[in-house]
Amino acid sequence: MDAQLLFSGYTDKNSVGLLQFAALMTTIWDAAEKDDPYADWHLLKTYDAIIQLRNQFAQTIQDYQESIRKIYGRTNLMLVPFSSEKPVVKNLWFRTQYGYLGAAVIGDFDELMRTVLTAGRVGVLLDKTQDMIRVEWIDKVGSLFKLPLKWKPFGLIRADISSDSELAKTAMQTLGKVPANILDKTVRAPFSPYINIELGS
């Protein structure tokens, strides 16, 4: 159920689900294609945040699975991981890779919660209660999906930064100073568009 809500977004007006996250990332992608350095920077920050969160998921899942194995690994019992009787299947289509990366995060959340439910079913005590784990990781995924909201469109290009234009000064007051390696394009997110300066002119 929570995975489905992370997909579509909770009813809370401050909630951002996968679909909105993907749409916002597409807007940022389009701006990066037009040579907006802040958009390029935000693609990198979001990508790094996704990888970091997925690594955290992987480690936590591994730790919890190990907790189960420590108790039942030497028995003749064959434990079947918890699974939904009626799993929800979603057809995905996103314009950028970030939608699919976000979907993978929800998949990680689902695997984590199935591991936690399995532990609960067989009486294995984890470091936190099931509800505490659930709330903690929903918050982490929600925070990730809100990252695109920190970017603001100013319609500038790298030349505006180089010339120290008024538009660039306004953007810097809101979004901070763009790192030099972002400006000179030596560092970009692994998933970034080809830059077409003519689109931004």
- In the DSSP assignment, the letter for residue 152 is -
CB contact at 8 A, 9 and 19: yes
Res 163: pLDDT: 95
Distance separating alpha carbons of residues 134 and 123, to the nearest angstrom: 18
Which pTM does this prediction carry?
A: 0.92
- Report angle CA 14, 146, 162 to the nearest 5 degrees: 130
Structure tokens at 34: 């037009």
- In the DSSP assignment, the letter for residue 192 is -
Which residue ranges make up each domain of the chain?
2-156
Res 14: pLDDT: 77
CB contact at 8 A, 10 and 17: yes
Sequence-distant (6+) residues with CB within 8 A of 13 are none
pLDDT in tens for each of the 201 residues of the chain?
688 889 888 766 678 999 999 999 999 999 999 999 999 999 999 999 999 999 999 999 999 999 999 988 777 776 777 777 677 778 899 999 999 999 999 999 999 999 999 999 999 999 999 999 999 999 999 999 999 999 999 999 999 999 999 999 999 999 999 999 999 999 999 999 999 977 655
CB contact at 8 A, 168 and 160: yes
Res 168: pLDDT: 96
Closest of 49, 9, 64, 8 to residue 189, by C-alpha = 49
- Report angle CA 111, 114, 116 to the nearest 5 degrees: 110
